Structure 1
Amino acid sequence: MDPGKGADIVGAAGIAGARITIIVSALGAGGTEHVVSLVASHWARLGCAVTVITLEAPASEPYYKLDPRVALRRLDVPVRMASKINAAWLVIRRLRLLRSAIRSSRPDFVLSFLTRTNVLTLLATSGLGLPVIVSERNNPAVQPFGPIWKWLQLRLYPRAFALVTMTKGALDYFSPDVRRQGRVIPNAIDLPAGWKNRRGNNKLTAVGRLTRQKGFDMLLEAFARIADQHPDWKLVIWGEGEARTELEAQRDALGLTDRVEMPGLTQRPGLWLETADAFVLSSRYEGWGIVLLEAMAAGLPVVSFACDWGPTDMIADGEDGILVPSGDIKALADALSDVMGNSALRTRLAANAQANVRRYDAKHVLSQWDAVALAALEHFGPRKKPVKPYPAEAAG
């Protein structure tokens, strides 16, 4: 037996029957939410009792499909803008509800995603004796989340059993006492089942939340520089977010109203893969860039800023994609022009990309999550008796 396959089997068998609670702020469209659905469903299929807790309103529906055996609990304290006094009260209420929900789910360990949720989870589990695994899904050095959250992050993360990042660069940001329990697990390929190739209409495609991080303002400027050279191509930006009005105004001011489409969220995950002829990632920074991986796995030629972190892990420049210096709009425009104007280049890049990203096969990546779970279970010894909620907490 292949040693790697043997380890995969041991990890999967070792966590079967475990009670696992996963915490994330929401289950909308996004890379983190995709990973949560993938990992939670995988563990449910292994026979684990998996509970996913979110801060969302009760009527919220997951964008990505969850295995029906996954229990989903929404706490109805969604993230929203509030005054400092109201924000403090919301945090306290979230902590109380989160602690109660964690206890009632009776986990053997807890897995939390995203900085603020990680901080809340570490506070909510204080004194419960539960191993907590936290996962950072963005670039921790530059993502904006305020000085108080940053202070709490740096002081609470050493309490976690393990920190999971997607790249070594992100892990290296943290102090040695946090890195000692660090694991690097990349995102996995998880293309939608049954997707159909409806390409051939010269669509340059970008995907992501309409926020400053994703750099769509720079992409619009780059496309404007070369649009006249490629009149048969359109740019399609899939996603939704607070920067929509600003981006639409920029598009129109650049004279690209008829050349750039911004259709919002896809009706189902991964629909954009069916109609894209080339893919571009223009982010100022990333935790990984799961849409880039999906594009490569689906056989698309890709162009990306070499931003921190993710793209340089996935792309071998000139072989299976094109990397340009981060933030260099002229270089991005030139690379896009090369790809849009050369069908042989697109074919070569796409074929190499599809072959080279097989190392991110879902089975292999999920086995790494199994290993972290097994380590938490083994470190804390035999499975403890279920944690009983205190009467006051059980009342919610």
Structure 2
Amino acid sequence: MKIVFLIHNAYGIGGTIRSTVNLSAALAAGHEVEVVSVHRVADEPQLSYGPRVRLTSLIDMREDSPTYEGEHELTKQPNTMFPDKGVDFGRLHYTALHDQRIADFLTGTDADVVIATRPILNGYLARYGQPHQVRIGQEHLSLDAHSDQLRTDQNTALRDLDAFVTVSEADAQQYRTALPDVTTTILAIPNGVPRPAVEPATLDSRVIVSAGRLVAVKRYDRLIKAFAAVATDYPDWTLRVYGRGPERAKLRRLIDNLGLYDRIFLMGAVSPIETEWAKGALAAVSSDMESFGMTIVEAMHCGVPVIATDCPHGPAEIISHGADGLLVPLISEGSATDGGVSAYAQALRTLLSDDALRRKLGEGALTKAATFAPEVIARRYEELCTSLAPGRAGTPRAGRAAAPAAAAGRTPAAADQGADHASDRKAARPGLLRRMRAALRGDEAPAPAAEQAPTAAAQAAAGAAEAPRPTAHARSTAAGDITVTLAHVPAGPLDFVARLRRDPERREVRVPVPESGTPEVLLGHRDHVLAEGRWDCYVAPRGTQKRTRLTAALTEQARLIGEPPARAADALAPWIPYTTTDGFLALRTWHRAAHAEVTQVAVTQEAATLTARVLAPANVSLTDATVRAAAREGDAYDFTVPVTPHPDGHFTFVLPYREALQRRTTEHDLWDLTVHTPTTPPIPLGRITGDVVDRKKTDYAPPALREHPTRGTTRIKPFFTVSNNVALSARDEGEEE
């Protein structure tokens, strides 16, 4: 059968998009599947829909595209559908053009099943969906998450759908209670979440991971306050929060006010997120509401136990308390006045203090996650479609309005012809019910020639699909080496090639790709020395310069956490594989005969105090050592501060802000920091160990505001540079960060 998903924007990374990617790919194993994005906002989607899923769009919103339609005359007229503030805003707001394009598509498609994924799209499907189609609306939030008006509008629309699917049984029951006289099938089918190709977490990283959109309902403030309550007792644990959203600035202020800026890190958005879950020893969900909880299952797939608030509706339908995670009551005895912070802090204490319990719950999490595999969820959708298939050729259900031709931008005659054509297609399509049942048994017979999915060659010729680009799955080893597994590479003898970016010497390394078996190479410190910098990765026919850049499938760095940096001869040589912003595989490398790793940063309004440890050269005496702050404007503005050694090998130094203020000369003054001893060359200070490529984006210290006699208010703070070295910044208050 042919299944179509109608989605607002298929080119992002949100939960609805990820769910559609997973379900469409699973259904495509036995059916013809198309994902129709109302808007096209990019040349390529951020998530891969797979080679079997056809991705199309209705309205081109790429501003640099020759077919850009943001200025179409119909965009100046309002749409006739009910408003949906979750998506109906900004440059992708719905207009008369949307009425026309969506109506034309729904009345003209030959799909057997149409699945809409947003309230406003459920409304369009109810209005324009055809009687021969199985029409399914999805609820990716919950009844309670909508405004009164949207709730009323969608509830009215779903009466004219065949089925309405929520992602939790609790929410399905709320809909049934609210709509007792509706004949539409209302049921719960959770989101499908695939098991990732990453290594399961080792659970010894001392890292808590949380991920999602930074919005109020996710209550990251609860998590941050709960971590603050236990942080002193567990000084080797850190918290990473992944995502972006409107609450970021508020969370930044909270972290800074709690003094936890060097323990809690706002990591930004990362996709795919599975590589980051695998870095965690514990996952945290602190929401007031979760319609499902896809992040919970994603973490479980990586073997990471989850602490989640027992909020409506999803967590309790995923987590079995004490078996594969912990559920925390939103309001419990002793925590009613603090918004559940103390109860969440107690749950953190339970797992932070018990390695054996974490491992037990991690094993349970892996087992539970398997029940949410996309192929399992796809089978439930197939069963739903089979149950709804009889009578598809009948007349419209009572209350269903015919598609208004004028609203669709078509003449009445054209609308009639479209209806006749749909009827002809239905009459010509044999045995839909038989084919669905066969698919459920796993022995679906081939579709008639006219219905078979186009071959890859035909799709490529039609521009619907292109030959997949060579891809690479890179994984760091505990020793700091990197394995690279290749896919979709050309035939013949090949080399893996890494080239140093912007290198006048054009240095590169080549590793032969095995000609039989798995096309995997090992980039090892034993065989290669990589200069400090960024290396782009390619595959090339052996002996040629015809390189093809490698698209990154996954880049795993979890094994680097907590491990000492790799060494090459007498130098530190950490390597971190990563995915570039445009999706390619690259390596960030350092090669240092001398380095001091910063382990702690603490700031006040008067000074910054940094703690570090010299990793190379070995056995350096820090007696009479100093840290020099070297001004980028010239050595006349340099200053030095003394080092205080500690018995454990660490040392501390203090950067008095008055020293920098006295030397201010420009809008933005910068000082690079190095350690100086009587017996060694200058030793750079920074953070080059671990798994983080760009510390400048994640490791943050709040600024102090100090008055300067001529430049006015100055923002002054330590920060990490693009090389992950630490420096001191003093800028005019009006200057951008």
TM-score, with structure 1 as normaliser: 0.83
**Are positions 1:38 and 2:38 aligned together?**
no
Q: Calculate the aligned-residue CA RMSD, in Å.
A: 2.8
In the alignment, which residue of structure 2 is the partner of 1:333?
Answer: 345
Query: Is this contact kept in 2: 1:172–1:179, CA < 8 A?
Result: no
* Cα distance in 2 for residues equivalent to 1:234 and 1:65: 32
* Cα distance in 2 for residues equivalent to 1:179 and 1:274: 44
Q: How does 1:269-288 map to 2 (within 5 A)?
A: 269-288=273-292
Query: Is this contact kept in 2: 1:139–1:285, CA < 8 A?
Result: no
Q: CA deviation at 1:336?
A: 0.7
Post-superposition Cα deviations, 1:251-308, rounded to whole Å, max 9, x if no partner, equal 2122121111111121424221221110111111111101112222321121110001
* Cα distance in 2 for residues equivalent to 1:155 and 1:269: 37
* Cα distance in 2 for residues equivalent to 1:74 and 1:315: 37
Counterpart amino acid of 2:40?
A
Call closer, same or farther: CA 1:43–1:360 in 2, change over 3 Å. Answer: closer
* Cα distance in 2 for residues equivalent to 1:109 and 1:209: 31
* Cα distance in 1 for residues equivalent to 2:38 and 2:260: 39
Call closer, same or farther: CA 1:392–1:58 in 2, change over 3 Å. Answer: farther
Query: Is this contact kept in 1: 2:218–2:288, CA < 8 A?
Result: yes
Match of 1:75 among 32, 44, 58: 58
In the alignment, which residue of structure 1 is the partner of 2:236?
Answer: 232
Counterpart amino acid of 1:71?
R
Q: CA deviation at 1:199?
A: 5.5
Query: Is this contact kept in 2: 1:203–1:236, CA < 8 A?
Result: yes
Q: How does 1:12-51 map to 2 (within 5 A)?
A: 18-27=1-10, 28-48=12-32, 50-51=33-34
Counterpart amino acid of 1:81?
F
Post-superposition Cα deviations, 1:106-141, rounded to whole Å, max 9, x if no partner, equal 22221011323322332343x666431001112211
* Cα distance in 2 for residues equivalent to 1:180 and 1:117: 17
Post-superposition Cα deviations, 1:329-370, rounded to whole Å, max 9, x if no partner, equal 110011112211221221121122223443334332221011
Match of 1:364 among 340, 358, 376: 376
* Cα distance in 1 for residues equivalent to 2:378 and 2:38: 25
Alignment gaps of 5+ in structure 2: 62-86, 331-338, 395-402, 415-737
Counterpart amino acid of 1:137?
H
Q: How does 1:1-396 map to 2 (within 5 A)?
A: 18-27=1-10, 28-48=12-32, 50-59=33-42, 61-76=44-59, 79=87, 81=89, 90-125=94-129, 130-141=133-144, 143-144=145-146, 146-174=147-175, 175-178=179-182, 181-195=185-199, 197=201, 200-326=204-330, 327-381=339-393, 392=410
The secondary structure found in structure 2 opposite 1:25 is strand
Number of residue pairs the alignment of both structures matches:
364
Q: CA deviation at 1:60?
A: 5.5
Moved more, 332-341 or 356-365: 356-365
* Cα distance in 1 for residues equivalent to 2:199 and 2:103: 40
Post-superposition Cα deviations, 1:305-334, rounded to whole Å, max 9, x if no partner, equal 000111111222222211111251110011
* Cα distance in 2 for residues equivalent to 1:301 and 1:151: 38
Query: Is this contact kept in 1: 2:19–2:193, CA < 8 A?
Result: no
Counterpart amino acid of 2:275?
L
In the alignment, which residue of structure 2 is the partner of 1:8?
Answer: none
The secondary structure found in structure 1 opposite 2:245 is coil
The alignment-based identity, stated in percent, is 25
Query: Is this contact kept in 1: 2:219–2:287, CA < 8 A?
Result: yes
* Cα distance in 1 for residues equivalent to 2:60 and 2:222: 35
Call closer, same or farther: CA 1:269–1:98 in 2, change over 3 Å. Answer: farther
Call closer, same or farther: CA 1:61–1:210 in 2, change over 3 Å. Answer: farther
Q: CA deviation at 1:196?
A: 6.0
* Cα distance in 1 for residues equivalent to 2:375 and 2:90: 42
Counterpart amino acid of 1:25?
H
Post-superposition Cα deviations, 1:129-185, rounded to whole Å, max 9, x if no partner, equal 6431001112211x14x4432221121111110011122210111112447512221
Q: CA deviation at 1:197?
A: 4.3
* Cα distance in 2 for residues equivalent to 1:279 and 1:344: 16
In the alignment, which residue of structure 1 is the partner of 2:442?
Answer: none
* Cα distance in 2 for residues equivalent to 1:179 and 1:201: 52
* Cα distance in 2 for residues equivalent to 1:294 and 1:19: 28
Post-superposition Cα deviations, 1:192-237, rounded to whole Å, max 9, x if no partner, equal 2244647633110111111112111211111111111111111111
* Cα distance in 1 for residues equivalent to 2:409 and 2:100: 13
Counterpart amino acid of 2:31?
G
Query: Is this contact kept in 2: 1:21–1:102, CA < 8 A?
Result: no
In the alignment, which residue of structure 1 is the partner of 2:555?
Answer: none
Call closer, same or farther: CA 1:372–1:153 in 2, change over 3 Å. Answer: same
The secondary structure found in structure 2 opposite 1:74 is strand
Tell me which structure has the larger Cα radius of gyration.
2
Q: CA deviation at 1:186?
A: 1.7
Q: Which structure has the highest strand share of the two?
A: 2
Call closer, same or farther: CA 1:335–1:196 in 2, change over 3 Å. Answer: closer
Query: Is this contact kept in 2: 1:58–1:75, CA < 8 A?
Result: no
The secondary structure found in structure 1 opposite 2:192 is coil
Post-superposition Cα deviations, 1:70-127, rounded to whole Å, max 9, x if no partner, equal 22223347746359xx96xx343322221123344322221011323322332343x6
Q: Which has the higher contact order (CA 8 A, sep 6+)?
A: 1
Counterpart amino acid of 2:138?
S
Q: Which structure has the highest helix share of the two?
A: 1
Call closer, same or farther: CA 1:257–1:64 in 2, change over 3 Å. Answer: same
